[in-house]
Amino acid sequence: MNLKLKVWRQKNAQSEGKLVDYEARNIPPAASFLEMLDILNDELQAKGEEPIAFDHDCREGICGTCSLTINGIAHGPSATTTCQLYMRTFKDGETIYIEPFRARSFPVMRDLVTDRAALDRIKQAGGYITARVGSAQDANSTLIPKTAADLSMEAAACIGCGACVAACPNASAMLFVGASVTHLAALPQGQPERRERALRMVRKMDEEGFGNCSNHYECEAVCPAEIPITVISNLNREYAAASAREAAI
Ligand code: FES
């Protein structure tokens, strides 16, 4: 396959960026999107040019590190991670726009690399449990209803990539926060910090400059882990209950 690429190039966080034209030639349709960039980078380096910087780690759809906006869509057209997107999805000769995730809370560091540490800081604010769980116990020693286990596992699938933020017109992180709060609120181990968790994570999210949900559903559409938007309803309920309790104390 031969493709025309328009790639966001930006020297550092302070400089202005711009789209630069490249041609990717003889790309195997079975190559992943990141492998296509690897091939292009090899050619750029052979010519003595600066390779394109982009984030990646596992390349298996697990870690959430890859993060490209492809033709205006976070992670591209097939609701998967960028590393699991294959070139056969595109047409030979197609022009592809490649940009970093766009959000005020995700500053561009270089080319296609953004700083998404704001999500880590939200997690640090409350997305954990403090109970000492010890070593693994028999699966049936802590009885958890199947519906609660399913809800928790579904929410725990979030890989923290930030595509939800990049896709949202408000740059809201509520799908990410809702997944974390839902995951832990459904389990007995998550009860001791349940109220504080919702308050701390939502307040940290606001402090980091993320917007609020206004029901565009774009986050759900691009989420590679298929986190349902109902986790945001859960988050709103958890936050309202925690706020009411805090006001009553
Ligand atoms: S590189 Fe790990 S999810 Fe894409």
CA 106 to CA 91: how far, in whole Å? 31
Q: State the average pLDDT over residues 71-81.
A: 94
Which CATH number is 68's domain given? Answer: 3.10.20.30
* pLDDT above 90 for 37: yes
Distance of CA 174 to the CA centre of its chain: 11
User: 52 near 9, Cβ under 8 Å?
Assistant: yes
Taking only the tens place, the pLDDT of each residue in 133-186 is 788 888 788 889 999 999 999 999 999 999 999 999 999 999 999 999 999 999
Q: How many residues does the chain have?
A: 249
Cβ of 119 below 6 Å from ligand 1: no
- Assess whether 71 and 147 both reside in one domain: no
Let me know whether 215 and 106 are in one domain. Answer: no
Pocket test for ligand 1, best of 33, 37, 66, 67 (most atoms within 8 A of CB): 66
The pLDDT of 72-94, averaged and rounded, is 96
Residue where one domain finishes, among candidates 81, 110, 139: 110
Give the Å distance between the CA of 84 and the centre of ligand 1.
8
Which of helix, strand or coil describes residue 240?
A: helix
Same domain flag for 123 and 218: yes
Confidence label for 35 from pLDDT (cuts 50, 70 and 90): very high
Mean pLDDT of the chain: 96
Same structural domain for residues 134 and 228?
yes
Structure tokens belonging to residue 28: 């195997």
Please give the pLDDT value at position 245: 93
SS (H, E, C) 62-99: CCCCCCEEECCEECCCCCCCHHHCEHHHCCCCCEEEEE
Confidence of residue 202 (pLDDT cuts 50, 70, 90): very high
Closest atom of ligand 1 to CA, residue 64: 3
Domain count, the chain: 2
- pLDDT, position 168: 98
Among 110, 145, 163, the domain boundary falls at 110
What's the pLDDT tens digit per position in 223-238? 999 999 999 999 999 9
Regarding whether 184 and 98 lie in a shared domain, the answer is no
Q: What is the mean pLDDT of residues 51-56?
A: 98
Nearest atom in ligand 1 to the alpha carbon of residue 55 is 1
- Give the pLDDT confidence score for residue 206 in this predicted structure: 98
Question: How confident is the model at residue 142, as a pLDDT?
Answer: 85
Structural domain boundaries enclosing 151: 117-248
Q: Give the end of a domain, one of 68, 94, 110.
A: 110
Assess whether 93 and 180 both reside in one domain: no
Instruction: Out of 56, 101, 114, give the residue to mutate to test ligand 1, the one with the largest number of ligand atoms within 8 Å of its CB.
Output: 56
The residue written with tokens 């579904």 in the block is 154
Q: Which residues contact 32 (CB under 8 A, 6 or more apart)?
A: 59, 83, 84, 85, 86, 87
Domain CATH code at residue 214:
1.10.1060.10
**Could you tell me if 54 and 123 lie in one domain?**
no
Give the three-state DSSP class for 34. helix
Structure-token pair, residue 9:
């190039």
Same domain? For 143 and 244 the reply is: yes
Distance 139 CA to ligand 1 centre (A): 30
In the predicted model, is pLDDT for residue 240 greater than 90? Answer: yes
Distance CA 5, CA 23 (A): 6
Q: Is 59 in the pocket of ligand 1 (CB under 6 A)?
A: yes
